[in-house]
Amino acid sequence: MVVLAGGLSHERDVSLRSGRRVAEALRDVGVDVEVRDVDARLLTTLRDEPPLCVLPLLHGETGEDGALREVLELLEVPYVGAPPSACRAAFDKPVAKVLVAGEAVRTPRSVTLPHEAFRELGAAAVMRLMVGSLGLPLIVKPARGGSALGCTAVRQEDALPGAMVTAFAYGATALVEQLVEGTEVAVPVLDTGSGPQALPVVSIEPDGGVYDYTARYTAGSTRFEVPAKLADEVAAECARVATAAHRVLGLRDLSRSDLMVDAEGTVWFLEVNVAPGLTETSTVPLSAHAAGLDLGELMVDLVHAAVARRAAET
């Protein structure tokens, strides 16, 4: 089988690390694996030498906006993960928020602004309106992207212009959202054919207080606890929200929802990932281990489900 890792997004290094980790786990359970990057030779290889299955571990726009999966569909190659339409909906954070909110899920109030509108309507006036409506603190992030790249917490109004510039450096549209204070948690959802099931909730406590790119991928800079120390009813709500997001967005096989639990125990949906990180410091392997699942065997189960799905479609 082929593991796709790398790509040209800002998250290339994370993708390569995920690819290496998963390839090693698969080899440990006896699977013959080839790790491939995305380049001009890839399609020819997949067409002329079709693999048993493709496992896309490309993070960021290259691997999560649905385009790659569209091409795999054209090639009629089995692949693990969400179909193109689901990827497009999930990768666009504002769209995902609206769809998931329809499942009786709370999500922070927000404003979505393309760079052109922000500039042409008058940046200063727009920012005053946002602060007046949403209040402070806020978090500003690219509407599309992951690994917290381009994200900035804004606690004072004079920090908002710099946060907008940072977000626009990573994408053409910014999402300005009320910042929910509390415990950040991650909830993987697994579906190997019997319906989506939430894996144990992982709580996240970065040493610096902010779960940024460095905190996510530097060993020892973040404390994870799994299962998270939450009241049973709160943990159950986290699981409900994550499975609801997985279902309403039409995701498949494996996803990860990022949530916040505030001081009152209210669960807030932030975003969902269709190609969650699988590095040494990622939350999905931690949660799978807590559930008694071996990463290699888990991936084999997903491959089998993908192959069976493709066979049923032909």
Q: Tell me which residues are annotated as active site.
A: 11, 147, 217, 256, 258, 271, 273, 277
- In this prediction, residue 9 has a pLDDT band, given cuts at 50, 70 and 90, of confident
293 and 263 belong to one structural domain: yes
- What's the one-letter identity of residue 194? S
CATH code where residue 172 lies? 3.30.1490.20
Task: Give the integer Cα–Cα distance in Å for 135 and 130.
Answer: 7
Q: Which two tokens stand for residue 102?
A: 């329809």
At 259-273, the pLDDT tens digits run: 999 999 999 999 999
Task: Give the integer Cα–Cα distance in Å for 122 and 119.
Answer: 5
* Structural domain count, the chain: 3
pLDDT at 221: 74
- Domain of residue 243: give its range: 181-301
pLDDT at 123: 94
Task: Give the integer Cα–Cα distance in Å for 250 and 237.
Answer: 20
Contact assessment for residue 142 and residue 111, using Cβ atoms and an 8 Å cutoff: no
66 CA to centre of own chain: 13
CATH code where residue 246 lies? 3.30.470.20
Neighbours of 218 (CB within 10 A): 13
- What's the one-letter identity of residue 197? Q
pLDDT at 212: 62
- In this prediction, residue 215 has a pLDDT band, given cuts at 50, 70 and 90, of low
pLDDT at 213: 61
* H helical segments located in the chain: 12-28, 42-48, 61-64, 67-75, 84-91, 93-101, 115-120, 123-134, 160-168, 213-217, 232-248, 283-290, 295-313
219 and 258 belong to one structural domain: yes
At 80-105, the pLDDT tens digits run: 999 999 999 999 999 999 999 999 99
- Of 138, 162, 178, the residue that ends a domain is 178
185 and 158 belong to one structural domain: no
